[in-house]
Amino acid sequence: MMYWAKAAIMTAFILAIFAPSVAAEGWALVTKNNTFDQRGERYGDANYTSLSLFTTDKTKPEIRFSCSTARGLKTTILFQPEAQGILDGGRKIKFRTKKPIVNIEGRKPVRHAWTYFKSIRTMQTRRGETARMLYNAAVQGQSFEVKEPAHDRISVVFPPINDAFKAFARDCYITNGGKKPS
C-alpha cells in the first residue's frame, strides 16, 4: 500500500482519540464512523465503523482500545496526558516503526512492532497479538510498563472494569468470541 494511504489510515485512528465519550469514571466508550478518501482509485476509499474504549483520567497517559471489522483490535497509547495540552502534529504526521519492550505484570517481557508518531507522542500496536495481550491485562487488572522512544519508561495501572468496558467486551467481535456486529 502506498505511503500516503497508510499514513491516512494511521492518522485517522490517532485523530479519533478526541471524540466525545459516554461512560462512567475510569473507561469511556465511543462509536465512530470512519471515512477516508485516499486520493485516487488505486487503493480505494475506506468506510467503516469502529468502537473505541479509552481511559478517562486526563492527568495520565491515555490508553485506547479500538475494534472494527476492517482493522481488528488496536491499542493506542497517548504518552502526553490531555491535561498538559493536545499536541498538534501539523499537516503531515510522520510515523516510524519502533519495537519497545512491553512488560506486563506476571508475564515474560515481549518486544513487538508498534507505529510511533513522534510529533504527537503516540504509539499504536501493529499486531493484533500485542493489542490482545494488553486488553487481557486490563481484564485481569494487571499493570504494564513500556518505554516511549527517546523518553522515559511509563508504568500503567488500568482503571477497574466498568459498564463501558463491559459494553466494549460485548460489542467487539474480537473480544466477544467472534460474533461480528450486524
pLDDT tens readout for residues 9-19: 444 444 444 43
pLDDT tens readout for residues 54-103: 999 988 899 999 998 888 899 999 998 776 766 665 667 778 899 999 99
pLDDT over 60 at 29, yes or no = yes
CA distance 20 to 55: 13
pTM: 0.78
Q: Are 81 and 61 in contact (CB under 8 A)?
A: yes
In the chain, where are the structural domains located? 3-171
